[in-house]
Amino acid sequence: MAVVTMKELLQAGMHFGHQTRRWNPKMKRYILGERNGIYLLDLRQSLSGIEQAYIYIRDMVADGGNILFVGTKKQAQDAVSNEAVRVGMPFVNERWLGGLLTNFTTMSSRTAKMRDLERRQRLGEFELMPKKEALLLTREMEKLQRYLGGIRNMERVPDALFVIDTKKEYIAVTEANRLGIPVVAIVDTNCDPDVIDFPIPGNDDAIRSTSLIARVIADAVSEGRRLAAYRGNASAPSTEEMATPEANPEEIKRKAQEQMRARVLAQQQQKEREARLLEAKRKAKEERDAADAAQTDAEAGDSTEATDAGASEATDAGASEATDAEAAVAASDSAGGESEA
Protein backbone atom coordinates (compact mmCIF):
# COMPACT_ATOMS: atom_id res chain seq x y z
CA MET A 1 0.00 0.00 0.00
CA ALA A 2 1.34 3.41 -0.97
CA VAL A 3 2.24 5.86 1.77
CA VAL A 4 0.06 8.50 0.11
CA THR A 5 -1.89 8.57 -3.14
CA MET A 6 -1.77 10.94 -6.08
CA LYS A 7 -5.39 11.89 -5.40
CA GLU A 8 -4.55 12.99 -1.86
CA LEU A 9 -1.71 15.14 -3.15
CA LEU A 10 -3.99 16.77 -5.73
CA GLN A 11 -6.71 17.44 -3.18
CA ALA A 12 -4.16 19.03 -0.85
CA GLY A 13 -2.90 21.33 -3.62
CA MET A 14 0.57 19.85 -3.39
CA HIS A 15 1.29 20.60 -7.06
CA PHE A 16 0.97 24.40 -6.86
CA GLY A 17 4.24 26.29 -6.84
CA HIS A 18 5.08 29.99 -6.70
CA GLN A 19 4.78 32.59 -9.42
CA THR A 20 7.13 32.12 -12.34
CA ARG A 21 9.08 35.26 -11.41
CA ARG A 22 9.78 33.82 -7.96
CA TRP A 23 11.68 30.61 -8.48
CA ASN A 24 15.01 28.91 -7.97
CA PRO A 25 16.53 27.51 -11.20
CA LYS A 26 17.75 24.48 -9.25
CA MET A 27 14.10 23.40 -8.94
CA LYS A 28 13.71 23.15 -12.71
CA ARG A 29 13.97 19.35 -12.69
CA TYR A 30 10.92 19.12 -10.39
CA ILE A 31 8.70 21.51 -12.39
CA LEU A 32 6.14 19.97 -14.73
CA GLY A 33 4.90 23.16 -16.37
CA GLU A 34 3.34 26.57 -15.91
CA ARG A 35 -0.25 27.81 -15.87
CA ASN A 36 -1.53 31.37 -15.39
CA GLY A 37 1.89 32.54 -14.26
CA ILE A 38 2.24 29.81 -11.60
CA TYR A 39 4.58 26.83 -11.75
CA LEU A 40 3.12 23.34 -11.41
CA LEU A 41 5.21 20.66 -9.71
CA ASP A 42 5.58 17.08 -10.90
CA LEU A 43 3.65 15.03 -8.34
CA ARG A 44 5.25 11.80 -9.53
CA GLN A 45 8.55 13.09 -8.17
CA SER A 46 6.72 14.25 -5.05
CA LEU A 47 5.47 10.69 -4.48
CA SER A 48 8.97 9.35 -4.97
CA GLY A 49 10.42 11.87 -2.50
CA ILE A 50 7.75 11.05 0.08
CA GLU A 51 8.42 7.31 -0.16
CA GLN A 52 12.19 7.78 0.18
CA ALA A 53 11.78 10.07 3.19
CA TYR A 54 9.26 7.69 4.76
CA ILE A 55 11.57 4.69 4.47
CA TYR A 56 14.55 6.62 5.84
CA ILE A 57 12.67 7.98 8.87
CA ARG A 58 11.06 4.62 9.60
CA ASP A 59 14.40 2.81 9.61
CA MET A 60 16.14 5.60 11.53
CA VAL A 61 13.53 5.55 14.31
CA ALA A 62 13.59 1.75 14.37
CA ASP A 63 17.32 1.97 15.12
CA GLY A 64 16.67 4.29 18.08
CA GLY A 65 16.93 7.66 16.35
CA ASN A 66 14.76 10.73 16.75
CA ILE A 67 13.66 13.52 14.43
CA LEU A 68 13.05 17.20 15.12
CA PHE A 69 9.96 18.75 13.49
CA VAL A 70 10.55 22.37 12.40
CA GLY A 71 7.95 24.78 11.04
CA THR A 72 7.50 28.31 12.39
CA LYS A 73 5.25 29.84 9.71
CA LYS A 74 1.60 30.24 10.65
CA GLN A 75 0.40 27.68 8.11
CA ALA A 76 2.66 25.01 9.61
CA GLN A 77 2.65 25.70 13.37
CA ASP A 78 -0.38 23.60 14.27
CA ALA A 79 0.52 20.71 11.99
CA VAL A 80 4.07 20.56 13.33
CA SER A 81 3.08 20.66 17.00
CA ASN A 82 0.13 18.27 16.69
CA GLU A 83 1.95 15.57 14.74
CA ALA A 84 5.14 15.84 16.81
CA VAL A 85 3.20 15.54 20.06
CA ARG A 86 1.21 12.61 18.64
CA VAL A 87 4.38 10.56 18.16
CA GLY A 88 6.36 12.01 21.08
CA MET A 89 9.01 13.80 19.04
CA PRO A 90 10.55 17.24 19.70
CA PHE A 91 9.43 20.22 17.65
CA VAL A 92 10.02 23.94 17.07
CA ASN A 93 6.99 25.90 15.89
CA GLU A 94 7.73 29.41 17.16
CA ARG A 95 11.09 31.02 16.43
CA TRP A 96 14.22 29.04 15.67
CA LEU A 97 16.85 30.16 18.17
CA GLY A 98 20.24 30.43 16.54
CA GLY A 99 22.65 27.82 17.88
CA LEU A 100 19.94 25.37 18.89
CA LEU A 101 21.95 22.60 17.23
CA THR A 102 25.48 24.00 16.98
CA ASN A 103 25.37 25.30 20.57
CA PHE A 104 23.21 22.56 22.01
CA THR A 105 24.93 22.60 25.42
CA THR A 106 23.75 26.14 26.10
CA MET A 107 20.25 25.34 24.86
CA SER A 108 20.15 22.33 27.19
CA SER A 109 20.96 24.59 30.13
CA ARG A 110 18.07 26.86 29.15
CA THR A 111 15.63 23.95 28.99
CA ALA A 112 16.90 22.81 32.39
CA LYS A 113 16.23 26.33 33.69
CA MET A 114 12.69 26.15 32.28
CA ARG A 115 12.01 22.82 33.98
CA ASP A 116 13.37 24.15 37.28
CA LEU A 117 11.07 27.20 37.13
CA GLU A 118 8.10 24.95 36.35
CA ARG A 119 8.97 22.76 39.35
CA ARG A 120 9.22 25.77 41.65
CA GLN A 121 5.87 27.04 40.44
CA ARG A 122 4.24 23.65 41.04
CA LEU A 123 5.63 23.59 44.58
CA GLY A 124 4.10 26.99 45.28
CA GLU A 125 7.35 28.90 45.73
CA PHE A 126 6.18 31.73 43.50
CA GLU A 127 3.24 32.42 45.84
CA LEU A 128 5.60 33.10 48.75
CA MET A 129 7.91 35.42 46.85
CA PRO A 130 7.59 39.20 46.60
CA LYS A 131 5.16 40.00 43.81
CA LYS A 132 7.76 41.65 41.59
CA GLU A 133 10.21 38.75 41.85
CA ALA A 134 7.47 36.20 41.17
CA LEU A 135 6.26 38.21 38.17
CA LEU A 136 9.75 38.38 36.65
CA LEU A 137 10.29 34.63 37.08
CA THR A 138 6.85 33.88 35.62
CA ARG A 139 7.60 35.98 32.55
CA GLU A 140 10.96 34.26 32.10
CA MET A 141 9.32 30.83 32.39
CA GLU A 142 6.60 31.69 29.88
CA LYS A 143 9.17 32.95 27.39
CA LEU A 144 11.22 29.77 27.72
CA GLN A 145 8.08 27.65 27.35
CA ARG A 146 7.12 29.50 24.19
CA TYR A 147 10.42 28.99 22.40
CA LEU A 148 11.81 25.83 24.03
CA GLY A 149 8.69 24.00 25.19
CA GLY A 150 8.77 21.66 22.21
CA ILE A 151 12.32 20.45 22.95
CA ARG A 152 12.01 20.13 26.73
CA ASN A 153 12.76 16.39 26.58
CA MET A 154 15.34 16.47 23.78
CA GLU A 155 18.45 15.25 25.60
CA ARG A 156 20.73 15.09 22.56
CA VAL A 157 21.11 16.51 19.08
CA PRO A 158 18.44 14.99 16.80
CA ASP A 159 19.34 12.38 14.22
CA ALA A 160 17.29 14.11 11.50
CA LEU A 161 15.24 17.25 10.79
CA PHE A 162 11.87 17.58 9.11
CA VAL A 163 11.50 21.15 7.83
CA ILE A 164 8.59 23.03 6.31
CA ASP A 165 9.72 26.05 4.22
CA THR A 166 13.49 25.81 3.95
CA LYS A 167 13.79 29.47 2.95
CA LYS A 168 12.27 30.66 6.21
CA GLU A 169 14.12 28.02 8.24
CA TYR A 170 17.46 28.51 6.49
CA ILE A 171 19.29 28.85 9.83
CA ALA A 172 18.04 25.45 10.96
CA VAL A 173 19.04 23.90 7.63
CA THR A 174 22.47 25.54 7.78
CA GLU A 175 23.13 24.26 11.30
CA ALA A 176 22.01 20.75 10.33
CA ASN A 177 24.26 20.77 7.26
CA ARG A 178 27.20 21.94 9.36
CA LEU A 179 26.72 19.07 11.81
CA GLY A 180 25.98 16.50 9.11
CA ILE A 181 22.38 15.94 10.25
CA PRO A 182 20.13 14.69 7.41
CA VAL A 183 17.30 17.05 6.46
CA VAL A 184 13.88 15.98 5.18
CA ALA A 185 11.96 18.94 3.80
CA ILE A 186 9.17 20.15 1.54
CA VAL A 187 10.82 22.13 -1.26
CA ASP A 188 8.73 24.65 -3.17
CA THR A 189 9.70 26.23 -6.50
CA ASN A 190 11.60 29.02 -4.71
CA CYS A 191 13.79 26.69 -2.60
CA ASP A 192 17.27 25.24 -3.03
CA PRO A 193 16.97 21.44 -3.13
CA ASP A 194 20.74 20.89 -3.09
CA VAL A 195 21.01 21.59 0.66
CA ILE A 196 18.29 19.02 1.45
CA ASP A 197 19.09 15.32 1.82
CA PHE A 198 15.53 14.10 1.22
CA PRO A 199 13.62 16.75 -0.77
CA ILE A 200 9.86 16.45 -1.19
CA PRO A 201 8.74 18.72 -4.07
CA GLY A 202 5.50 20.39 -3.06
CA ASN A 203 3.53 23.38 -1.88
CA ASP A 204 4.91 24.57 1.48
CA ASP A 205 2.38 27.42 1.86
CA ALA A 206 -0.98 25.63 1.95
CA ILE A 207 -2.24 24.31 5.28
CA ARG A 208 -3.61 21.11 3.72
CA SER A 209 -0.36 20.20 1.99
CA THR A 210 1.86 20.89 5.02
CA SER A 211 -0.54 18.98 7.28
CA LEU A 212 -0.54 16.02 4.89
CA ILE A 213 3.25 15.71 4.75
CA ALA A 214 3.61 16.26 8.51
CA ARG A 215 1.13 13.42 9.05
CA VAL A 216 3.09 11.14 6.71
CA ILE A 217 6.34 11.86 8.56
CA ALA A 218 4.65 11.19 11.90
CA ASP A 219 3.26 7.92 10.54
CA ALA A 220 6.79 6.93 9.55
CA VAL A 221 7.89 7.53 13.15
CA SER A 222 5.03 5.38 14.45
CA GLU A 223 5.85 2.55 12.08
CA GLY A 224 9.51 2.77 13.03
CA ARG A 225 8.60 2.31 16.68
CA ARG A 226 6.42 -0.68 15.87
CA LEU A 227 9.28 -2.14 13.86
CA ALA A 228 11.65 -1.56 16.77
CA ALA A 229 9.24 -3.29 19.14
CA TYR A 230 8.98 -6.22 16.73
CA ARG A 231 12.77 -6.47 16.61
CA GLY A 232 12.98 -6.18 20.39
CA ASN A 233 15.00 -2.95 20.18
CA ALA A 234 14.54 -1.19 23.51
CA SER A 235 16.52 1.86 22.43
CA ALA A 236 13.54 3.28 20.54
CA PRO A 237 11.15 4.82 23.11
CA SER A 238 7.46 4.32 22.51
CA THR A 239 4.84 7.02 22.60
CA GLU A 240 3.57 5.58 25.88
CA GLU A 241 7.05 5.84 27.37
CA MET A 242 7.25 9.46 26.31
CA ALA A 243 4.02 10.23 28.18
CA THR A 244 4.06 11.25 31.83
CA PRO A 245 3.56 8.21 34.07
CA GLU A 246 0.80 8.18 36.67
CA ALA A 247 2.01 9.07 40.15
CA ASN A 248 1.70 6.39 42.86
CA PRO A 249 0.73 7.18 46.48
CA GLU A 250 4.35 7.22 47.63
CA GLU A 251 5.23 9.66 44.87
CA ILE A 252 2.31 11.89 45.85
CA LYS A 253 3.39 11.79 49.51
CA ARG A 254 6.99 12.58 48.59
CA LYS A 255 5.92 15.52 46.45
CA ALA A 256 3.69 16.81 49.27
CA GLN A 257 6.60 16.65 51.71
CA GLU A 258 8.85 18.37 49.22
CA GLN A 259 6.24 21.05 48.71
CA MET A 260 5.91 21.56 52.49
CA ARG A 261 9.69 21.87 52.88
CA ALA A 262 9.77 24.36 50.04
CA ARG A 263 7.02 26.42 51.66
CA VAL A 264 8.80 26.45 55.04
CA LEU A 265 12.07 27.41 53.38
CA ALA A 266 10.38 30.16 51.41
CA GLN A 267 8.75 31.50 54.59
CA GLN A 268 12.10 31.54 56.38
CA GLN A 269 13.69 33.36 53.48
CA GLN A 270 10.81 35.85 53.48
CA LYS A 271 11.29 36.50 57.22
CA GLU A 272 15.03 36.97 56.71
CA ARG A 273 14.38 39.45 53.91
CA GLU A 274 11.93 41.38 56.09
CA ALA A 275 14.41 41.41 59.01
CA ARG A 276 17.19 42.69 56.75
CA LEU A 277 14.85 45.35 55.41
CA LEU A 278 13.89 46.51 58.94
CA GLU A 279 17.55 46.57 59.98
CA ALA A 280 18.45 48.63 56.92
CA LYS A 281 15.61 51.06 57.66
CA ARG A 282 16.73 51.35 61.31
CA LYS A 283 20.32 52.09 60.34
CA ALA A 284 19.19 54.63 57.77
CA LYS A 285 17.03 56.37 60.43
CA GLU A 286 19.93 56.45 62.90
CA GLU A 287 22.20 57.94 60.25
CA ARG A 288 19.59 60.58 59.41
CA ASP A 289 19.10 61.43 63.11
CA ALA A 290 22.86 61.69 63.64
CA ALA A 291 23.18 63.94 60.61
CA ASP A 292 20.32 66.14 61.83
CA ALA A 293 21.87 66.40 65.31
CA ALA A 294 25.24 67.31 63.86
CA GLN A 295 23.64 69.96 61.70
CA THR A 296 21.74 71.38 64.72
CA ASP A 297 24.96 71.54 66.78
CA ALA A 298 26.73 73.26 63.94
CA GLU A 299 23.97 75.83 63.60
CA ALA A 300 23.97 76.43 67.41
CA GLY A 301 27.73 76.94 67.38
CA ASP A 302 27.47 79.44 64.57
CA SER A 303 24.76 81.36 66.50
CA THR A 304 26.91 81.52 69.67
CA GLU A 305 29.90 82.78 67.74
CA ALA A 306 27.74 85.43 66.10
CA THR A 307 26.39 86.57 69.51
CA ASP A 308 29.87 86.77 71.03
CA ALA A 309 31.13 88.69 68.05
CA GLY A 310 28.21 91.15 68.31
CA ALA A 311 28.79 91.72 72.02
CA SER A 312 32.50 92.28 71.50
CA GLU A 313 31.84 94.77 68.77
CA ALA A 314 29.30 96.60 70.95
CA THR A 315 31.78 96.79 73.88
CA ASP A 316 34.54 98.06 71.66
CA ALA A 317 32.21 100.66 70.16
CA GLY A 318 31.09 101.86 73.65
CA ALA A 319 34.64 102.16 74.89
CA SER A 320 35.64 104.05 71.80
CA GLU A 321 32.73 106.45 72.22
CA ALA A 322 33.62 107.06 75.91
CA THR A 323 37.20 107.79 75.02
CA ASP A 324 36.10 110.24 72.39
CA ALA A 325 33.78 111.99 74.90
CA GLU A 326 36.56 112.32 77.48
CA ALA A 327 38.84 113.76 74.87
CA ALA A 328 36.20 116.29 73.90
CA VAL A 329 35.69 117.40 77.54
CA ALA A 330 39.40 117.76 78.04
CA ALA A 331 39.67 119.84 74.92
CA SER A 332 36.79 122.02 76.07
CA ASP A 333 38.37 122.60 79.49
CA SER A 334 41.66 123.47 77.87
CA ALA A 335 39.94 125.99 75.62
CA GLY A 336 38.16 127.61 78.60
CA GLY A 337 41.42 128.02 80.51
CA GLU A 338 43.08 129.72 77.62
CA SER A 339 40.15 132.11 77.28
CA GLU A 340 40.32 133.18 80.96
CA ALA A 341 43.99 133.83 80.61
Tens of each residue's pLDDT in the chain, 341 residues: 468 899 999 999 999 998 888 888 999 999 999 898 899 999 999 999 999 999 999 999 999 999 999 999 998 999 999 999 999 999 999 999 999 999 999 999 999 999 999 998 888 888 888 889 989 999 999 999 999 999 998 989 999 999 999 999 999 999 999 999 999 999 999 999 999 999 999 999 999 999 999 999 999 999 999 988 887 754 555 544 444 344 456 665 665 666 666 666 666 766 777 788 788 888 888 888 888 888 887 777 666 665 665 555 555 555 555 555 555 555 555 544 444 43
Superfamily of domain 6-101+157-242: Glucose-6-phosphate isomerase like protein; domain 1 (3.40.50.10490)
Please state the pTM of the whole predicted model.
0.67
**What is the reported pLDDT for 232?**
74
**What is the reported pLDDT for 225?**
92
**What is the reported pLDDT for 250?**
65
**What is the reported pLDDT for 80?**
94
**What is the reported pLDDT for 247?**
45
**What is the reported pLDDT for 335?**
47
- The 3-class secondary structure across the chain, one letter per residue, is CCCCCHHHHHHCCCCEEEECCCCCHHHHHHEEEEECCEEEECHHHHHHHHHHHHHHHHHHHHCCCCEEEECCCHHHHHHHHHHHHHHCCCEECCCCCCCCCCCHHHHHHHHHHHHHHHHHHHCCCHHHCCHHHHHHHHHHHHHHHHHHHHHCCCCCCCCEEEEECCCCCHHHHHHHHHHCCCEEEEECCCCCHHHCCEEEECCCCCHHHHHHHHHHHHHHHHHHHHHHHHHCCCCCCCHHHHCCCCCCHHHHHHHHHHHHHHHHHHHHHHHHHHHHHHHHHHHHHHHHHHHHHHHHHHHHHHHHHHHHHHHHHHHHHHHHHHHHHHHHHHHHHHHHHHHHC
**What is the reported pLDDT for 22?**
87
Extents of the domains making up the chain: 6-101+157-242, 252-308
